[in-house]
Amino acid sequence: MAPGMTLTGVGAVLVMIVATALGAVIDILLGPALGIATTIMLAMGAVLAVWLVRRSSVFTVVIAPPLVYLLVGVATLLLASDIGVTLTSVAATLVYGFPAMAIATALGVAVACIRQVAGR
């Protein structure tokens, strides 16, 4: 990307979705549930998205990790689970995914603060 170019808020969230989905694919190939690869890719996607997004859209991207995790979690339940999408399965996905969502959000906030201090 050329200097000075940034992503729109939607583009940055799409970067996060693609990264998280890649992590989910890796996790599903290695085991029955979302795990460490999803966590790492969600965190990396959040950091990259917050760093590259326009200043006016930073807040949108900082609050996106839980929603992205929910989207990828439901898609995983639809595509790779014998259980299917039930209220219980979605709730379990969110409970077990809380650390991933918290880590990604915290890293996004940290990068946003760095950007604010640096004036970028």
pTM assigned to the model: 0.91
Radius of gyration of the chain (CA): 15
pLDDT of 119 > 90? The answer is: no
pLDDT of 80 > 90? The answer is: no
Q: How far is CA 77 from CA 23, 31, 55, 59, 110, in A?
A: 15, 14, 34, 28, 31
pLDDT of 70 > 80? The answer is: yes
Q: What is the pLDDT of residue 5?
A: 67
H or E segment at 53?
none
| CA end-to-end span of the chain | 16
Check: CB of residue 51 under 8 Å from CB of residue 61.
no
pLDDT of 4 > 70? The answer is: no
- Coil, strand or helix at 93: helix
Give how far the C-alpha of residue 109 lies from the chain's centroid of Cα atoms, to the nearest Å: 13
Place of tokens 């014998």: 82
Mean pLDDT value of segment 30-34: 88
Place of tokens 């991933």: 100
For the segment 91-106, what is each residue's pLDDT rounded down to a tens digit?
Answer: 999 999 999 999 999 9
CA 118, CA 116: separation in Å to the nearest integer? Answer: 6
Q: What is the pLDDT of residue 54?
A: 93
Delimit the domains of the chain by residue range.
9-118
pLDDT of 3 > 70? The answer is: no
Q: What is the pLDDT of residue 83?
A: 76
% residues pLDDT > 90 (the chain):
83
pLDDT confidence tier of residue 81, bands split at 50, 70 and 90:
confident
pLDDT of 1 > 50? The answer is: no
